A and B are shown apart, each in its own frame.
Chain A
C-alpha cells in the first residue's frame, strides 16, 4: 500500500459533501414530513385512529326510584342482564368447528331461554349464529339466575371457545314491588326503560340517569385487546321521586274501589282520588281495572275473555290503552249533581241566595221551551237551598242557575279552574269541554247548573270542589312532592301552590254546613261514618252522548265527592263508578258507601280519633273476653254480662278454645263458640249464607241460625232502611262456626240525580 492509495483531497471533499447532503436531506425531509404528520396533522389522524380502535358501549343508568310519602318503594330499578351473540367471529373458524359451535350455542341457549321466551327455539338461535353482525341481542333483561346459567354454559364449553361468541351484559330492569298498587299513577316503562305512561312518562327525563360509557379498545379483528385499555364513565342513576301518595291510603282506596267495581259490574271501570284539600297533595289515585306495571302488556282475565268473544268489537290495543288510561286525569265526564257544590258556591258568593232561601220545585220546569223534571215524582214543593242540596233537587238548581246568569256562571266556571287543565304532574290530562259564555243560552245554563252537558275530568272536579269547602282556595294538585338525587340530596321540593281564592271564607263555611247536611240528613246517608263528621255530595250522571252513540240504554256514572272532617276539612275523596250494571246506578248507593269505607279506614290511620255518639257506642262491637281455661259456667256468666251468647261444642268441663278468639271484636248479641273437647276434629263447619239484600236484623238472624258472627260495616244508621250489599266472605264458603263475616250495608232509598 502506498501513500497515493490514500483518499485524495478531492475525494475527501466529495465524501464530506455526500455526507453533509445525506444528513441534511435525512433530517430536513424526514423531520419535516414526520413533523407534519405527527404535530400539524396529528390530532386529526389520532382521532381517526381512535374511531377505528375504540368502541363505546353505553351502560344504561339505573332509573331513579319512586317512593311514596313515607319513602316506601313503589318502583325501583333492579340489575338485569342482556344475553347477546357475537356471530361474525364464528365465520373465522374451520367449517366443522363452525357447525359444532353453532349447534352448541343454539342448543345450550335455547335450553336455558326457552322456558322464559317460547320464541327462542333451537332454530331461532341457530339463525342468529348465522348472522354476519357484531352484536345481536338474544334476550333482553333476564334475571341473574338466567344470566348465571348462561355463564355456566359458556364456561362448561370453554374447550370450544364459545366465550368469544356469547356475551352477558349488565343492564337494568324496572320493578314494581307492590304489583298493581298505584299503577295508574306510576305508569310503566318500555323495553328501553323509557317511561311510557304515568309518572314514568311525565318525569322520564328526571328519572332517566346519565348513561355511562365503557370505551374499550379493540384490535383489527374486533376483539378486545388482550392488554386491555378501558375507560369507564360510571353511569349516573336518575333522580328519584317522592310522592304525595300514601301507600296505605292508596291500598285502601284500591281495595274498596275494586270491590265496588266488581259488585256493581261497572262497564267502564272506576276511579278514586283522595286529595288533601288544604295543600293539593294527592294521597291516593286509583283506577280499577288497571294493570300490573311489571307486565303492562297483559290484559286482565275479563278483558281477555272480552277479546276472545266471537263478535269482539274491541281490539287488544284498545283494551291495553284503556287499562293504561288514568281515568282520574285523562277522561272527562259530566259530573252531574256533584257539580251542585260549585253552582251553590257561586250563588252564595254572589249573595244571590242563603242557606234558608226558599225555592219551589213543582216537579217540572220549563226553560226556553225545554222541559226538565225533578227525580222526585211530584216535586219537592217549597224547599230551602240547604234542603235542595240535600235532596239534590234539579228544578231548584235550575232556578239558582238562572239567578247567577250565564256571564257570572262562566266567570266562576273559569275561576274554579274548570276551563283549563289542572296542570297536575301527570301525562295525558284531558281537556274540558264546556259552553263558552257566548254560546251559553238558557237551556245550556240550566243543564250546566246541575252538572250536565259539559265534561270535566275527575281531577278538575275534586280540585274545584275542594276550593269551595277549604276557604275558597283553588290549589294546584300534585303527585310528586320531592325530587331526590341518587345520594339522597333533595333536588327539588314542591310547595303548596294557591292559584287563587275563588270564594270567600264565609261562603266556604256555608258550603261545609250544606255538605254535612247532605250526609247526615239524607241524600248521601251511605257516606255516613260512625265517629266522624263527613260531608259530601252524590252524583248520578247520564252518559247521554255514549247512549246516543251506541244505542244502549242505562249508561250512568255514579259518583260521590266527600270531605272529612267536614267542619275543618282535610281530605276529599272522589269516587266514580262508570257504567254500573248492578242493583243500583245511583251515586248515593254505588259510590257513597265506597267513600264511607275508605274514610272509616283512613281517618284513624291519619290520626283522627273517632268521636262516637251514645247510640253509636250502643251498637258498637266490643271485645270478646278470653275464655280458655274457664269453666262453661264462668264463661256463660261473663258473656251474658257483655251481651254475648255462648254455644258450647263438646263434652268437656273447661274451655280449650273459642271462636271468635279473645280480643276480637264482636257486635252485641253475637255468639261465641266454645270448644271443650281436645279433639280438634270436632270443630263444626258451617256454610256462609247470602246476606245481600237483607236488613241488619235479617242478617243477624241468618247469621245466628248457622252459628256465625257478623260485623256490620257501612250505613247501619237506625232510622233509615239499610240493606246489605256485599260481604267479605262469599256465600257458600265453608267456615268454622263462630267465624266473623263482615257485611256491608247501604241505604238503597237514597236517590238523587
Chain B
C-alpha cells in the first residue's frame, strides 16, 4: 500500500479523500440555514435598514468565504494544530483577557463579549471552544493513560476552569456551559475515571448553581423567574420568550409555509439571531423542524464516525470535540427558544446571523474534514 510511504513523508497537505457525507451534511445545513436566515430577517432588515437583503447578503458572502476556507483547511494536515496547541491556548487566554479590558461593545454595560477589528467582530469565546478542543485533544492523545491519575485530572480541570472562569465573568453563561461540557465530554472519551466524571459533574452543577445565585445574581435570578413564567412580564422580560413560543406554536404540524411567518414581522425580536429557529418552526412546522434536528444528529453521527475511524487519537478527539460542539449548541439553542431552559444568548450553528462565527464554524468543519481524509472511513 502506498499509504506507508506517505506516512513517512510528513507533509503540510494531505492526499486522502475527504468524507463526502459529512461535507454534504454541512452544505445542506448551511443552505437551509441561509434560506431560513433570509426568510427570517427580511422584514426586520427592511424595517430597520430599508433593505430586505442586508443580513442575507452579508451572511452569504461569509458563507462563500467560509466554505472556501473549509475546503482549504480540509486539505491541511490537522496535526499542525497539535504542534501549536499550546500557542492556541495561550493566545485564546490572551483574547479572553483582552475582551475584559476593552470597553464593552454592546449597549449593555458590563457585558464584554465582543472584540472588533475594523468592520469585523468576533467573540473570543468562539475561539475558546476551539482552543479547549485542541488542547484537550492534544494533551489526551499525547498522554494516554496519565489521565487516570488525579493530578492530571486537576491539571486538565485547571486548563478548562481558567477558560470557563474568564468567559463566565464576561459574563457569557451559555458559552461557559458549552466550553465546560465539551471539555468534560473530551475527558470522558479520553478515558477519565468514572468517579471523576460523577464528581466533576457534581462540582460543575454546583459551580453553575453558585454562579447563578451569587456571582451574577440579578442577571441569573431574573432569567430563572421569567423562564418559569414568561407571562409575568409579557411586554418586558418575558416578551422575547413569549414571542418565540407564539411563533413555534403557530407552526403546527405542517407550518405556515416558507416565507409565511407572521411573527418575524418584528414580533420576535431579532429573528435572525438566536431565535431564528422559532421562525423556522413557524414556517416549516413540526415536520420541517424535526428534519433539521435529524440533520444535526446526522452531522454528529458522521463526525463521531469519522472520529472512530480516525488513524490517531488526536484526530479522533478533534473530530468529536468539533462536531459535538455543533450538536450541543444546536440542542441548547432549541431548548432556549422553546423555553425549556432559561434564556441565554446561544446561536444556532449554520442558521443564526453572524459572519465571523459562521466562518469560524466552517473552518472547524474543515478540520473535521481534514481528519476524515486520513481516517479509514468508507468514502463515497
Contact = CB atoms under 8 A, between A and B. Distances in A.
A218 B331 CA distance: 32
Interface stretch (B68-76, B111-119, B246-254): B246-254
A310 B362 CA distance: 93
Interface in A2-47: 5-7, 10-12, 14-16, 18-19, 22-23, 25-27, 29-31, 33-35, 37-39, 41-46
| Binding site secondary structure of chain B | helix
Given A19-B300, A27-B297, A6 B311 contact: yes
A229 interface: yes
A723 interface: no
A226 B42 CA distance: 11
B141 A5 contact: yes
Contact of A49 (B249, B289, B301): B249
A39 B252 contact: yes
A49 B247 contact: yes
Given A33-B338, A45-B249, A1 B281 contact: no
Contacts of A30: 293, 331, 334-335, 338
Contacts of A226: 43, 46
A43 B250 CA distance: 7
A46 B249 contact: yes
Interface residues of A, number: 45
B275 to A, nearest CB: 13
Contact of B312 (A6, A33, A38, A218): A6
Interface in B323-380: 324, 327-328, 330-331, 334-335, 338, 340
B205 interface: no
A556 to B, nearest CB: 72
Contacts of B327: 22, 26
Contacts of B313: 5-7, 11
Given A16-B308, A53-B267, A225-B43, A38 B300 contact: no
Contacts of B265: 53, 217-220, 225
B196 interface: no
B92 interface: no
Contacts of A229: 262
Interface stretch (B14-22, B102-110, B124-132, B185-193): B185-193
B267 A219 contact: yes
Nearest to B286: A38
B342 to A, nearest CB: 14
A25 B331 contact: yes
Contacts of B245: 37, 45
Interface string A219-256: 11100011101000000000000000000000000000
Contact of B290 (A5, A34, A41): A34
Nearest to B262: A53
A423 B272 CA distance: 69
Given A15-B316, A23-B301, A27-B297, A46 B308 contact: no
Contacts of A23: 297, 300-301
Interface in B254-279: 262-263, 265-267
B301 A37 contact: no
A640 B251 CA distance: 100
A7 B308 contact: yes
Interface in B33-64: 43, 46-47
B266 A219 contact: yes
Nearest to B323: A19
A44 B191 CA distance: 48
Interface string B293-325: 110110011001001101111101000100010
A35 to B, nearest CB: 6
B189 A37 contact: no
Given A1-B7, A38-B285, A52 B312 contact: no
A38 B288 CA distance: 12
Interface in A35-92: 35, 37-39, 41-46, 48-49, 52-53
Given A38-B281, A39-B253, A219 B47 contact: yes
B338 A22 contact: no
A7 B281 CA distance: 39
Given A6-B312, A18-B304, A18-B320, A42 B335 contact: no
16 contacts: A10-B191, A11-B190, A12-B308, A14-B191, A15-B304, A15-B320, A18-B324, A22-B297, A27-B294, A27-B297, A30-B334, A35-B286, A38-B251, A38-B252, A43-B252, A46-B252
Given A6-B311, A26-B296, A39-B253, 4 more contacts: A1-B311, A19-B304, A38-B251, A227-B43
